[in-house]
Amino acid sequence: MSKRIRLNAVEMACPLQDNAGMWQLSGNSADRYKDLDYWVSLAELLEKGKFDAVFFADILGVYDVYKGSRDTAVREGLYVPMNDPAYVIPAMAVVTEHLGFAVTSSLTYDHPYSLARKMSTLDHLTDGRVGWNIVTSNLDSAARNFGLDGQIAHDKRYERGDEFLEVAYKLWEESWEDGAVIKDRGERVYTDPSKVHDIGHEGRYFRVPGIHLCEPSPQRTPVLFQAGSSERGRAFAARHAECVFLNAMNAEETRYLVQDIRAKAAAEGRNPDEVLFFPKINPIVGRTEEEARSKLDSYLAAASAEGSLSLLSAWTGIDFSTFGADQLLGFIKKGEERNGSSYLADFFSRNHTGAEWTREELAKYFAFGGAGSLLAGTPEQIADRLEAFVRETGVDGFNIAYVLRYDTFSEFIELVVPELQRRGLVQSEYAPGTFRDKLFGNGPRLPESHPGRQTRTGAEATT
């Protein structure tokens, strides 16, 4: 098999993300999210496991759909408190040489002039190991705290997003020519002013006349990540993204999304192979099938039903607190019918002891990001599943989430990675170069066909 499977670890700078309730398992280090030591150890672990990158999700608000209140999210430590993830990257970079860092940064509450400097700074400090997960939207609770009455309308958000990216591309790709910084001691010239250009941007949402504050970093533009599943979101991803995150683990849906976005990218004049796809999985590995099974059972037992429903409510916008067992069962069955899955009949039924499903049992169908992302088994079984999924869908790797902070990655790296390496499916050594070099093997810069290379600045060199 020729395609290398790329592995990213999913993290957030908060106690718990989708693993509601798991901070209670003894030994889990949910609260270490604020300790530098934790991030340093994690970086060392992931580089030992030859992971491509750690991916930082982020939100700037609080989940408050469930019961119309943030109380469940706060009580359970779900996505709140939430630190800014970008600041752990330089610390993780100190102890690693190859690991990439993809960080979520919303363009709704930032200005392209400062975001461009943030990303250039990180790319310099990490020697070209940075990616940016472009998020156009966020939560109502975030919008309100930035003084807005609510979120910017969906389509307008993407229109503004396109212009935001245009400004950023001009700053990263056009403002400073290669070789502008010459450090010529004889002529006493640090930077040649004739090679540093005003971008002269005058748009609908932004006006940025000047130069980028930073000299070109190794990648100039960070590797661009995006997750968009709406029609407009997919068009945005097809235009800008080099890496696309997918939540669905259903092969048919995944294949459709991969083909659709690749076709749209080609229609934009891009090489469709220059868009990589990463579905999210939640591996639970045991040395034997029984061990994996028993781990899954104990995780589900400890998972929080309330927490899982509060997350589901935030993701769907539906307040599930009013749903009884019957309604919940109906919702699940409809979903399984739609995507042809049978998780309820499969492993979830083992936890079901009574004649009827209780509300609590059913709620755990949504634990850990949902039954569709759970992958319990031996190293061989998990490797089989990943290999088959790549073959069936055309994805390029996986975003690996966790049930237990650190431990899930540690077990995956101890048990599954060696099996994947034995099969030649994942790397045993890192390729040289920047994050983009490692992902695509085609140099540190955005490819020529990417729209980021097509912008032209409106202004001439300084005089």
Was 158 annotated as part of a binding site? yes
Closest CB to its own copies among 76 and 166?
76
- Helices then strands, counting H and E runs in the chain, come out as 16, 13
> Minimum distance from CB of 217 to its own copies (Å)?
8
Count the neighbouring beta carbons within 10 Å of the beta carbon of residue 94: 11
DSSP for 86-144, please give it. Answer: GGGHHHHHHT-SS-EEEEEEESSSS-HHHHHHHHHHHHHHTTS-EEEEEE----HHHHH
The β-bridge partners of 191 are 181
Helices 154-169 and 112-125 pack at an angle, to 10 degrees, of: 50
In whole angstroms, the minimum distance from the beta carbon of 108 to its own copies comes to: 11
The least CB distance from residue 146 to its own copies, in Å, is 6
CB of 436 to its own copies, least distance (A): 18
**Sign of the torsion angle spanned by Cα atoms 430, 257, 154, 308:** negative
Cβ atoms of residues 367 and 284 within 8 Å: no
Closest contact distance (angstroms) between CB of 89 and its own copies is: 7
Q: Give 7's strand partners.
A: 398
Is 229 annotated in a binding site? The answer is: yes
The answer to the question of whether 230 is labelled as a binding residue is yes
The answer on whether 175 is annotated among ligand-binding residues is no
Q: Which is nearer to its own copies, 87 or 256 (CB)?
A: 87
The angle formed by the CA atoms of residues 90, 438 and 404, to the nearest 5 degrees, is 55
Nearest-approach distance from CB 182 to its own copies, in angstroms: 10
List the beta strands (DSSP E) in 167-236: 181-184, 189-191, 201-202, 207-208, 223-226
Q: How far apart are CA 192 and CA 23, in angstroms?
A: 55
Which tokens go with 240?
Answer: 């800008």
Pairing mode, if any, of strands 189-191 and 181-184? antiparallel
Q: Cβ 408 to its own copies, closest distance in Å?
A: 19
Q: Report the nearest approach of its own copies to the CB of residue 206 (Å).
A: 6
Contact 297, 351 (CB under 8 A): yes
| 3-class secondary structure, 254 | helix
Nearer CB in complex with its own copies: 215/290 = 215
Outline where 177-250 has alpha helix (H). 231-240
Residue closer to its own copies by CB (options 112, 369) is: 112
Q: Is the peptide bond before 15 cis (omega within 30 degrees of 0)?
A: no
Annotated binding site: 58, 104, 154, 158, 229-230
Annotated binding site for FMN: 58, 104, 154, 158, 229-230
